[in-house]
Structure 1
Amino acid sequence: MPRYALQVEYDGTPFAGWQWQEDQPSVQGAIEAALARLEPEVPRIAAAGRTDAGVHATGQVCHCDMARDWDPFRLSEALNYHLKPAPVAIRACARVDADWHARFSALERRYLFRILCRRAPATFAARQFWQVKHPLDVAAMRAGAAHLLGRHDFTTFRSVICQAKSPVKTMDAIEITQVQGLSGPEVEFRLRARSFLHNQVRSIVGTLERVGSGGWPPDRVKTALEARDRAACGPVSPPGGLYLTGVGYPVDPFAG
Protein backbone atom coordinates (compact mmCIF):
# COMPACT_ATOMS: atom_id res chain seq x y z
CA MET A 1 0.00 0.00 0.00
CA PRO A 2 1.43 3.43 -0.89
CA ARG A 3 2.25 5.53 2.18
CA TYR A 4 1.85 9.30 2.33
CA ALA A 5 3.09 11.90 4.80
CA LEU A 6 0.66 14.72 5.55
CA GLN A 7 1.57 18.08 7.06
CA VAL A 8 -1.47 19.23 9.02
CA GLU A 9 -2.65 22.57 10.38
CA TYR A 10 -5.58 22.84 12.78
CA ASP A 11 -7.35 25.00 15.30
CA GLY A 12 -7.64 22.75 18.32
CA THR A 13 -10.45 24.72 19.97
CA PRO A 14 -13.39 22.46 18.98
CA PHE A 15 -11.51 19.19 19.42
CA ALA A 16 -10.91 16.91 22.40
CA GLY A 17 -7.35 16.53 21.14
CA TRP A 18 -5.57 14.83 18.27
CA GLN A 19 -6.31 11.23 19.20
CA TRP A 20 -9.45 9.51 17.96
CA GLN A 21 -12.19 9.16 20.54
CA GLU A 22 -15.44 7.33 20.08
CA ASP A 23 -17.72 9.94 21.63
CA GLN A 24 -15.84 13.23 21.14
CA PRO A 25 -14.54 15.15 18.12
CA SER A 26 -10.84 14.75 17.38
CA VAL A 27 -8.43 15.90 14.69
CA GLN A 28 -7.52 12.32 13.88
CA GLY A 29 -11.19 11.47 13.56
CA ALA A 30 -11.79 14.37 11.17
CA ILE A 31 -8.91 13.32 8.90
CA GLU A 32 -9.89 9.65 8.96
CA ALA A 33 -13.47 10.57 8.07
CA ALA A 34 -12.17 12.54 5.08
CA LEU A 35 -9.95 9.64 4.04
CA ALA A 36 -12.94 7.28 4.23
CA ARG A 37 -14.69 9.43 1.63
CA LEU A 38 -11.84 8.59 -0.74
CA GLU A 39 -11.22 4.95 0.15
CA PRO A 40 -13.48 2.99 2.51
CA GLU A 41 -10.81 0.72 4.03
CA VAL A 42 -8.05 3.18 4.94
CA PRO A 43 -6.17 1.99 8.07
CA ARG A 44 -5.73 4.20 11.13
CA ILE A 45 -3.36 7.11 10.63
CA ALA A 46 -0.38 7.80 12.93
CA ALA A 47 0.88 11.21 14.04
CA ALA A 48 4.19 12.63 15.22
CA GLY A 49 2.57 13.76 18.47
CA ARG A 50 -0.78 13.60 20.23
CA THR A 51 -1.79 17.15 21.07
CA ASP A 52 -4.24 17.73 23.92
CA ALA A 53 -7.70 19.28 23.83
CA GLY A 54 -7.54 22.91 22.72
CA VAL A 55 -3.95 22.72 21.46
CA HIS A 56 -3.29 23.90 17.90
CA ALA A 57 -0.85 22.94 15.16
CA THR A 58 0.71 24.58 12.14
CA GLY A 59 3.10 21.71 11.42
CA GLN A 60 1.71 18.44 12.76
CA VAL A 61 2.75 15.45 10.67
CA CYS A 62 0.91 12.17 10.19
CA HIS A 63 1.01 9.34 7.68
CA CYS A 64 -1.66 7.29 5.96
CA ASP A 65 -1.63 4.13 3.86
CA MET A 66 -3.78 4.15 0.74
CA ALA A 67 -4.88 1.38 -1.63
CA ARG A 68 -4.65 3.60 -4.71
CA ASP A 69 -1.51 5.25 -6.02
CA TRP A 70 -2.53 8.85 -5.48
CA ASP A 71 -0.78 11.91 -6.84
CA PRO A 72 0.20 13.72 -3.60
CA PHE A 73 -1.25 17.05 -4.72
CA ARG A 74 -4.55 15.43 -5.73
CA LEU A 75 -4.72 13.61 -2.41
CA SER A 76 -4.21 16.80 -0.41
CA GLU A 77 -6.80 18.65 -2.49
CA ALA A 78 -9.35 15.86 -2.05
CA LEU A 79 -8.77 15.70 1.70
CA ASN A 80 -9.11 19.46 2.11
CA TYR A 81 -12.39 19.33 0.22
CA HIS A 82 -13.82 16.63 2.48
CA LEU A 83 -12.43 18.18 5.69
CA LYS A 84 -14.71 21.22 5.34
CA PRO A 85 -16.01 22.84 7.51
CA ALA A 86 -13.68 21.46 10.23
CA PRO A 87 -10.78 23.85 11.04
CA VAL A 88 -8.25 21.34 9.70
CA ALA A 89 -6.11 21.70 6.58
CA ILE A 90 -3.57 19.53 4.80
CA ARG A 91 -0.74 21.94 4.01
CA ALA A 92 1.46 19.44 2.19
CA CYS A 93 1.44 15.81 1.10
CA ALA A 94 4.34 13.60 0.03
CA ARG A 95 4.87 9.96 -0.95
CA VAL A 96 7.20 8.23 1.54
CA ASP A 97 8.77 4.79 1.91
CA ALA A 98 6.69 2.00 3.41
CA ASP A 99 8.82 1.93 6.57
CA TRP A 100 8.68 5.70 7.15
CA HIS A 101 6.74 6.56 10.30
CA ALA A 102 5.45 9.99 11.34
CA ARG A 103 6.29 9.34 14.99
CA PHE A 104 9.20 6.91 15.07
CA SER A 105 11.16 8.48 12.19
CA ALA A 106 11.05 11.94 13.83
CA LEU A 107 14.22 13.50 15.25
CA GLU A 108 12.67 16.54 16.94
CA ARG A 109 9.44 18.38 17.73
CA ARG A 110 9.04 22.15 17.83
CA TYR A 111 6.44 24.03 19.83
CA LEU A 112 5.35 27.65 20.11
CA PHE A 113 3.50 29.12 23.08
CA ARG A 114 1.96 32.62 22.90
CA ILE A 115 1.11 34.87 25.84
CA LEU A 116 -0.79 38.12 25.24
CA CYS A 117 0.02 40.79 27.84
CA ARG A 118 -2.80 43.33 28.20
CA ARG A 119 -5.52 44.18 30.69
CA ALA A 120 -8.45 44.66 28.30
CA PRO A 121 -10.24 41.44 27.30
CA ALA A 122 -9.15 40.04 23.95
CA THR A 123 -11.89 40.12 21.33
CA PHE A 124 -10.03 38.53 18.41
CA ALA A 125 -8.76 34.95 18.51
CA ALA A 126 -9.12 34.81 22.27
CA ARG A 127 -8.43 31.06 22.29
CA GLN A 128 -5.24 31.39 20.29
CA PHE A 129 -3.09 32.53 23.21
CA TRP A 130 -2.94 32.80 27.00
CA GLN A 131 -3.83 36.29 28.15
CA VAL A 132 -2.26 37.77 31.28
CA LYS A 133 -3.02 41.27 32.54
CA HIS A 134 0.53 42.32 33.37
CA PRO A 135 3.83 42.76 31.51
CA LEU A 136 6.42 39.99 31.73
CA ASP A 137 10.16 40.32 32.35
CA VAL A 138 11.66 38.52 29.37
CA ALA A 139 15.24 38.66 30.69
CA ALA A 140 14.20 37.02 33.97
CA MET A 141 12.31 34.28 32.11
CA ARG A 142 15.33 33.60 29.92
CA ALA A 143 17.46 33.25 33.04
CA GLY A 144 14.96 30.79 34.50
CA ALA A 145 14.68 28.84 31.24
CA ALA A 146 18.47 28.41 31.07
CA HIS A 147 18.23 25.93 33.97
CA LEU A 148 16.04 23.65 31.82
CA LEU A 149 18.36 23.32 28.85
CA GLY A 150 20.15 20.01 28.36
CA ARG A 151 19.39 16.54 29.66
CA HIS A 152 17.38 16.38 32.91
CA ASP A 153 14.82 14.42 34.87
CA PHE A 154 11.70 16.50 34.14
CA THR A 155 9.42 14.80 36.67
CA THR A 156 8.46 18.23 38.07
CA PHE A 157 7.18 19.32 34.66
CA ARG A 158 5.40 16.07 33.82
CA SER A 159 1.68 15.35 34.11
CA VAL A 160 0.76 12.73 36.69
CA ILE A 161 -1.00 10.80 33.90
CA CYS A 162 2.02 10.89 31.57
CA GLN A 163 2.66 7.43 30.09
CA ALA A 164 6.27 7.97 29.01
CA LYS A 165 8.61 5.25 30.26
CA SER A 166 11.17 7.77 31.55
CA PRO A 167 10.97 11.40 32.73
CA VAL A 168 14.48 12.05 31.40
CA LYS A 169 14.48 14.29 28.33
CA THR A 170 16.91 16.60 26.56
CA MET A 171 15.73 20.17 26.01
CA ASP A 172 17.61 21.52 23.00
CA ALA A 173 16.28 25.07 22.95
CA ILE A 174 13.95 27.48 24.73
CA GLU A 175 13.79 30.85 22.98
CA ILE A 176 11.75 33.67 24.53
CA THR A 177 11.01 36.84 22.61
CA GLN A 178 8.66 39.81 22.90
CA VAL A 179 6.73 40.77 19.76
CA GLN A 180 3.96 43.18 18.86
CA GLY A 181 0.93 41.12 17.91
CA LEU A 182 -2.34 42.22 16.34
CA SER A 183 -4.01 42.40 19.76
CA GLY A 184 -1.06 43.88 21.66
CA PRO A 185 2.31 42.88 23.12
CA GLU A 186 2.96 39.15 23.12
CA VAL A 187 5.66 36.94 24.55
CA GLU A 188 6.55 33.93 22.41
CA PHE A 189 8.18 30.79 23.77
CA ARG A 190 9.75 28.45 21.20
CA LEU A 191 10.83 25.05 22.53
CA ARG A 192 12.68 22.29 20.69
CA ALA A 193 13.45 18.71 21.76
CA ARG A 194 13.47 15.23 20.33
CA SER A 195 10.33 14.46 22.33
CA PHE A 196 8.30 15.93 25.17
CA LEU A 197 6.47 14.59 28.21
CA HIS A 198 2.74 15.04 28.64
CA ASN A 199 2.04 18.67 29.64
CA GLN A 200 5.77 19.44 29.73
CA VAL A 201 5.61 22.57 27.57
CA ARG A 202 2.56 23.98 29.34
CA SER A 203 4.13 23.27 32.74
CA ILE A 204 7.36 24.99 31.75
CA VAL A 205 5.58 28.05 30.34
CA GLY A 206 3.32 28.33 33.40
CA THR A 207 6.37 28.20 35.65
CA LEU A 208 8.30 30.76 33.60
CA GLU A 209 5.29 33.09 33.64
CA ARG A 210 5.62 33.15 37.44
CA VAL A 211 9.23 34.25 36.96
CA GLY A 212 8.28 36.89 34.40
CA SER A 213 5.58 38.32 36.63
CA GLY A 214 7.97 38.59 39.59
CA GLY A 215 6.39 35.84 41.67
CA TRP A 216 9.44 33.55 41.38
CA PRO A 217 13.16 34.39 41.19
CA PRO A 218 14.83 32.73 38.18
CA ASP A 219 16.84 30.33 40.36
CA ARG A 220 13.65 28.82 41.75
CA VAL A 221 13.20 27.09 38.37
CA LYS A 222 16.41 25.17 39.08
CA THR A 223 15.15 24.29 42.56
CA ALA A 224 11.85 23.07 41.13
CA LEU A 225 13.61 20.97 38.48
CA GLU A 226 15.91 19.33 41.02
CA ALA A 227 12.99 18.56 43.34
CA ARG A 228 11.67 16.00 40.83
CA ASP A 229 8.28 16.59 42.38
CA ARG A 230 5.14 17.66 40.53
CA ALA A 231 4.12 19.75 43.53
CA ALA A 232 7.18 21.97 42.99
CA CYS A 233 5.95 23.04 39.53
CA GLY A 234 4.30 26.35 38.84
CA PRO A 235 0.77 26.50 37.39
CA VAL A 236 0.08 24.68 34.13
CA SER A 237 -0.68 27.18 31.38
CA PRO A 238 -3.95 26.84 29.43
CA PRO A 239 -3.90 24.91 26.13
CA GLY A 240 -5.03 27.69 23.79
CA GLY A 241 -1.59 29.30 23.53
CA LEU A 242 0.21 26.13 22.48
CA TYR A 243 1.05 25.18 18.87
CA LEU A 244 2.93 22.22 17.42
CA THR A 245 4.82 24.11 14.73
CA GLY A 246 7.06 21.48 13.20
CA VAL A 247 8.56 18.01 13.23
CA GLY A 248 12.11 17.28 12.10
CA TYR A 249 13.16 14.18 10.12
CA PRO A 250 16.50 12.96 8.74
CA VAL A 251 15.18 14.00 5.33
CA ASP A 252 12.30 16.48 5.09
CA PRO A 253 9.55 14.59 3.21
CA PHE A 254 7.98 17.89 2.10
CA ALA A 255 11.14 19.54 0.76
CA GLY A 256 10.92 20.41 -2.89
Structure 2
Amino acid sequence: MVVCAPARYLVFFQYFGTKYSGVMETSSDQSLIGVQNYLEKAVQNLKPVAPVKFHISSRTDTGVHALCNSAHLDIQRAPGKPAFEEKQLVHGLNRHLKPEPIRILNAHRVPSTFHARFSALSRTYIYRLLMGCSHHSEIPVFERDLCWAPGGGYLNVPAMQEAAQFLVGTHDFSTFRSLGSETPFQSPIRTVFQVDIQPSSGFLSHHYEHRGLEFWELKFRSRSFLYRQALLDQTLRPMLLYSTTLSFLRA
Protein backbone atom coordinates (compact mmCIF):
# COMPACT_ATOMS: atom_id res chain seq x y z
CA MET A 1 0.00 0.00 0.00
CA VAL A 2 1.26 3.47 -0.86
CA VAL A 3 2.59 5.49 2.07
CA CYS A 4 1.65 9.17 1.84
CA ALA A 5 4.19 11.89 2.50
CA PRO A 6 3.81 13.86 5.75
CA ALA A 7 1.40 16.79 5.61
CA ARG A 8 2.62 20.09 7.06
CA TYR A 9 0.25 22.32 9.01
CA LEU A 10 0.48 25.80 10.48
CA VAL A 11 -1.49 25.96 13.73
CA PHE A 12 -2.38 28.96 15.86
CA PHE A 13 -2.89 28.34 19.56
CA GLN A 14 -3.36 30.20 22.84
CA TYR A 15 -2.67 29.35 26.46
CA PHE A 16 -2.97 30.67 30.00
CA GLY A 17 0.66 30.40 31.02
CA THR A 18 0.62 30.59 34.83
CA LYS A 19 1.20 26.87 35.40
CA TYR A 20 3.79 26.33 32.64
CA SER A 21 7.55 26.86 32.46
CA GLY A 22 7.02 28.66 29.16
CA VAL A 23 6.01 27.50 25.72
CA MET A 24 9.12 25.48 24.88
CA GLU A 25 9.47 21.77 25.62
CA THR A 26 11.10 20.74 28.92
CA SER A 27 12.06 17.44 30.52
CA SER A 28 9.03 15.74 32.07
CA ASP A 29 10.61 15.50 35.53
CA GLN A 30 10.50 19.26 36.14
CA SER A 31 7.93 20.74 38.52
CA LEU A 32 6.72 23.02 35.71
CA ILE A 33 6.77 21.81 32.15
CA GLY A 34 6.28 23.53 28.81
CA VAL A 35 3.19 24.06 26.69
CA GLN A 36 4.95 22.20 23.88
CA ASN A 37 4.97 19.03 26.00
CA TYR A 38 1.17 19.04 26.10
CA LEU A 39 0.83 19.87 22.40
CA GLU A 40 3.03 16.96 21.37
CA LYS A 41 1.30 14.57 23.77
CA ALA A 42 -2.06 15.58 22.26
CA VAL A 43 -0.95 15.02 18.67
CA GLN A 44 0.42 11.56 19.49
CA ASN A 45 -3.13 10.57 20.44
CA LEU A 46 -4.06 11.12 16.79
CA LYS A 47 -1.95 8.03 15.93
CA PRO A 48 0.64 9.46 13.53
CA VAL A 49 3.07 7.00 11.96
CA ALA A 50 6.09 8.84 13.45
CA PRO A 51 6.53 11.15 16.45
CA VAL A 52 5.45 14.73 15.72
CA LYS A 53 7.41 17.85 16.67
CA PHE A 54 5.89 21.32 17.06
CA HIS A 55 8.22 23.97 15.61
CA ILE A 56 7.09 27.05 17.52
CA SER A 57 7.43 30.55 16.07
CA SER A 58 7.84 32.51 19.29
CA ARG A 59 9.24 31.74 22.73
CA THR A 60 7.46 32.84 25.92
CA ASP A 61 8.82 32.57 29.45
CA THR A 62 7.47 31.05 32.67
CA GLY A 63 4.05 32.39 33.61
CA VAL A 64 3.57 34.33 30.37
CA HIS A 65 0.32 33.93 28.44
CA ALA A 66 -0.31 33.91 24.71
CA LEU A 67 -3.38 35.20 22.93
CA CYS A 68 -2.05 33.69 19.74
CA ASN A 69 1.19 31.80 19.20
CA SER A 70 1.91 29.66 16.15
CA ALA A 71 3.82 26.55 15.13
CA HIS A 72 4.18 24.17 12.23
CA LEU A 73 4.13 20.39 12.42
CA ASP A 74 4.37 17.45 10.03
CA ILE A 75 1.91 14.58 10.40
CA GLN A 76 2.22 11.30 8.53
CA ARG A 77 -0.81 9.02 8.81
CA ALA A 78 -0.99 5.28 8.40
CA PRO A 79 -1.11 3.90 4.82
CA GLY A 80 -4.55 4.35 3.30
CA LYS A 81 -5.58 7.18 5.61
CA PRO A 82 -5.88 10.66 4.05
CA ALA A 83 -4.27 13.73 5.54
CA PHE A 84 -6.27 15.41 8.28
CA GLU A 85 -8.65 18.11 7.20
CA GLU A 86 -7.87 21.40 8.93
CA LYS A 87 -10.98 21.48 11.13
CA GLN A 88 -10.54 17.81 11.91
CA LEU A 89 -7.03 18.49 13.20
CA VAL A 90 -8.20 21.42 15.34
CA HIS A 91 -11.00 19.41 16.95
CA GLY A 92 -8.81 16.36 17.48
CA LEU A 93 -6.03 18.31 19.19
CA ASN A 94 -8.42 20.27 21.40
CA ARG A 95 -10.14 17.07 22.48
CA HIS A 96 -6.86 15.65 23.73
CA LEU A 97 -5.69 18.93 25.31
CA LYS A 98 -8.50 18.89 27.88
CA PRO A 99 -8.45 19.98 30.69
CA GLU A 100 -5.30 22.08 30.08
CA PRO A 101 -5.82 25.86 29.48
CA ILE A 102 -4.39 25.44 25.98
CA ARG A 103 -6.49 25.73 22.85
CA ILE A 104 -5.84 25.34 19.14
CA LEU A 105 -7.50 28.26 17.37
CA ASN A 106 -7.15 27.15 13.75
CA ALA A 107 -4.98 25.19 11.37
CA HIS A 108 -3.86 25.66 7.77
CA ARG A 109 -2.25 23.19 5.37
CA VAL A 110 1.03 24.74 4.18
CA PRO A 111 3.85 23.74 1.79
CA SER A 112 6.72 21.63 3.12
CA THR A 113 9.02 24.64 2.65
CA PHE A 114 7.09 26.73 5.19
CA HIS A 115 8.69 27.35 8.62
CA ALA A 116 6.70 28.98 11.43
CA ARG A 117 9.70 30.68 13.03
CA PHE A 118 11.55 31.92 9.97
CA SER A 119 8.44 32.92 8.01
CA ALA A 120 7.11 35.14 10.80
CA LEU A 121 6.92 38.79 9.79
CA SER A 122 6.46 40.25 13.28
CA ARG A 123 5.78 39.44 16.91
CA THR A 124 3.88 41.57 19.42
CA TYR A 125 4.11 41.62 23.20
CA ILE A 126 1.47 43.36 25.30
CA TYR A 127 2.08 44.29 28.94
CA ARG A 128 -1.00 45.08 31.03
CA LEU A 129 -0.75 47.51 33.95
CA LEU A 130 -3.38 48.16 36.62
CA MET A 131 -3.19 51.50 38.41
CA GLY A 132 -5.09 52.50 41.55
CA CYS A 133 -4.25 49.59 43.86
CA SER A 134 -2.26 50.44 46.99
CA HIS A 135 -1.60 46.74 47.69
CA HIS A 136 -1.56 43.61 45.53
CA SER A 137 -4.49 42.22 47.55
CA GLU A 138 -6.68 44.90 45.95
CA ILE A 139 -6.27 43.42 42.45
CA PRO A 140 -9.69 42.09 41.34
CA VAL A 141 -9.80 38.32 41.64
CA PHE A 142 -10.65 38.00 37.94
CA GLU A 143 -7.39 39.79 37.06
CA ARG A 144 -5.10 37.59 39.14
CA ASP A 145 -1.92 36.75 37.20
CA LEU A 146 -3.20 38.81 34.27
CA CYS A 147 -1.70 42.22 35.03
CA TRP A 148 0.90 44.04 37.13
CA ALA A 149 -0.26 46.58 39.73
CA PRO A 150 2.64 48.84 40.73
CA GLY A 151 2.18 50.91 43.86
CA GLY A 152 2.22 54.67 43.97
CA GLY A 153 0.30 57.21 41.97
CA TYR A 154 -0.93 57.21 38.41
CA LEU A 155 1.14 57.10 35.23
CA ASN A 156 2.60 60.12 33.47
CA VAL A 157 1.40 58.77 30.15
CA PRO A 158 2.56 61.65 27.91
CA ALA A 159 6.10 61.30 29.29
CA MET A 160 5.98 57.53 28.80
CA GLN A 161 4.75 57.90 25.23
CA GLU A 162 7.51 60.37 24.44
CA ALA A 163 10.20 58.13 25.98
CA ALA A 164 8.86 55.02 24.25
CA GLN A 165 9.57 56.48 20.84
CA PHE A 166 13.31 56.26 21.57
CA LEU A 167 12.90 52.46 21.38
CA VAL A 168 11.39 52.58 17.89
CA GLY A 169 13.84 51.84 15.11
CA THR A 170 17.01 49.76 14.88
CA HIS A 171 19.16 49.74 18.03
CA ASP A 172 21.66 47.72 20.04
CA PHE A 173 19.54 46.25 22.86
CA SER A 174 22.44 44.74 24.84
CA THR A 175 21.46 46.65 28.00
CA PHE A 176 17.87 45.36 27.75
CA ARG A 177 18.65 41.68 28.13
CA SER A 178 19.49 39.50 31.12
CA LEU A 179 23.14 38.80 31.81
CA GLY A 180 24.12 35.39 30.48
CA SER A 181 20.82 34.98 28.61
CA GLU A 182 22.44 34.95 25.17
CA THR A 183 25.39 33.33 23.51
CA PRO A 184 28.07 35.91 22.64
CA PHE A 185 27.56 35.10 18.96
CA GLN A 186 23.98 36.37 18.67
CA SER A 187 23.63 39.94 17.50
CA PRO A 188 21.97 42.33 20.00
CA ILE A 189 20.73 44.51 17.11
CA ARG A 190 16.95 44.51 16.78
CA THR A 191 14.37 46.70 15.03
CA VAL A 192 11.26 47.74 16.96
CA PHE A 193 8.43 48.68 14.60
CA GLN A 194 5.89 50.01 17.08
CA VAL A 195 5.48 51.03 20.73
CA ASP A 196 2.00 52.03 21.92
CA ILE A 197 0.73 53.01 25.38
CA GLN A 198 -3.05 53.01 25.48
CA PRO A 199 -5.88 52.80 28.03
CA SER A 200 -7.50 49.40 28.22
CA SER A 201 -10.30 47.63 30.07
CA GLY A 202 -10.37 44.89 32.65
CA PHE A 203 -12.44 41.75 32.77
CA LEU A 204 -15.92 42.81 34.01
CA SER A 205 -14.39 46.15 35.03
CA HIS A 206 -17.69 47.96 34.48
CA HIS A 207 -18.92 46.22 37.64
CA TYR A 208 -16.32 47.98 39.81
CA GLU A 209 -15.95 51.35 38.12
CA HIS A 210 -16.52 52.99 41.51
CA ARG A 211 -13.04 51.86 42.59
CA GLY A 212 -11.36 54.20 40.10
CA LEU A 213 -9.00 51.57 38.70
CA GLU A 214 -7.16 52.24 35.44
CA PHE A 215 -5.95 49.58 33.02
CA TRP A 216 -3.19 50.32 30.48
CA GLU A 217 -1.66 48.29 27.68
CA LEU A 218 1.94 48.71 26.55
CA LYS A 219 2.40 47.14 23.12
CA PHE A 220 5.75 46.35 21.51
CA ARG A 221 5.98 44.99 17.95
CA SER A 222 9.15 43.79 16.25
CA ARG A 223 10.32 41.22 13.73
CA SER A 224 12.09 39.48 16.62
CA PHE A 225 13.25 40.09 20.18
CA LEU A 226 16.32 38.96 22.07
CA TYR A 227 15.90 35.99 24.38
CA ARG A 228 14.70 37.45 27.71
CA GLN A 229 14.78 40.97 26.31
CA ALA A 230 13.23 43.18 28.98
CA LEU A 231 11.78 46.27 27.33
CA LEU A 232 10.27 47.04 30.71
CA ASP A 233 11.59 46.28 34.17
CA GLN A 234 12.36 42.56 34.55
CA THR A 235 9.92 42.29 37.48
CA LEU A 236 7.06 42.76 35.02
CA ARG A 237 7.65 39.56 33.13
CA PRO A 238 6.21 36.98 35.55
CA MET A 239 3.22 39.23 36.29
CA LEU A 240 2.05 40.32 32.88
CA LEU A 241 -1.11 39.18 31.26
CA TYR A 242 -0.97 38.63 27.59
CA SER A 243 2.63 38.99 26.92
CA THR A 244 0.95 38.18 23.71
CA THR A 245 2.85 36.59 20.89
CA LEU A 246 1.19 37.29 17.57
CA SER A 247 2.76 36.11 14.34
CA PHE A 248 1.91 37.51 10.93
CA LEU A 249 3.20 35.03 8.42
CA ARG A 250 3.95 35.02 4.74
CA ALA A 251 1.71 32.91 2.56
Q: Per the alignment, do residues 8 and 88 of structure 1 end up closer, same or farther by CA in structure 2, a change over 3 Å counting?
A: same
SS at match of 1:142: helix
Number of the residue aligned with 1:175: 196
2:74 to 33, 51, 65: 65
- Contact residue 119 and residue 249 of structure 2 kept, 8 A: yes
TM-score after normalising by structure 2: 0.83
Q: Name the aligned partner's letter for residue 193 of structure 2.
A: D
Q: Which 5+ residue runs of structure 1 have no aligned equivalent? A: 207-234, 252-256
Is the counterpart of residue 55 in structure 1 residue 64 in structure 2? yes
Q: Deviation string for 1:197-232 (max 9, x for gaps)?
A: 1222xx2222xxxxxxxxxxxxxxxxxxxxxxxxxx
Q: Deviation string for 1:134-179 (max 9, x for gaps)?
A: 3211111111111111000001111223336110000110011122
Aligned counterparts, 1:1-256, within 5 A: 1-22=6-27, 23-24=29-30, 25-40=33-48, 41-68=50-77, 69-119=83-133, 120-133=138-151, 134-163=153-182, 165-182=186-203, 183=205, 184-200=213-229, 203-206=230-233, 235-241=234-240, 242-251=242-251
Aligned length: 221
Q: Deviation string for 1:50-77 (max 9, x for gaps)?
A: 1111011011001111013100100000
Mapped to 2, the partners of 1:245 and 1:187 lie a distance apart of 18
TM-score after normalising by structure 1: 0.82
Percent pairwise identity: 35
Q: CA deviation at 1:7?
A: 0.2
Mapped to 1, the partners of 2:246 and 2:43 lie a distance apart of 23
- Contact residue 138 and residue 178 of structure 1 kept, 8 A: no
Tell me the C-alpha RMSD between the 2 structures. Answer: 1.5
Q: Name the aligned partner's letter for residue 185 of structure 1.
A: E
Q: CA deviation at 1:236?
A: 3.8
Mapped to 2, the partners of 1:37 and 1:161 lie a distance apart of 38
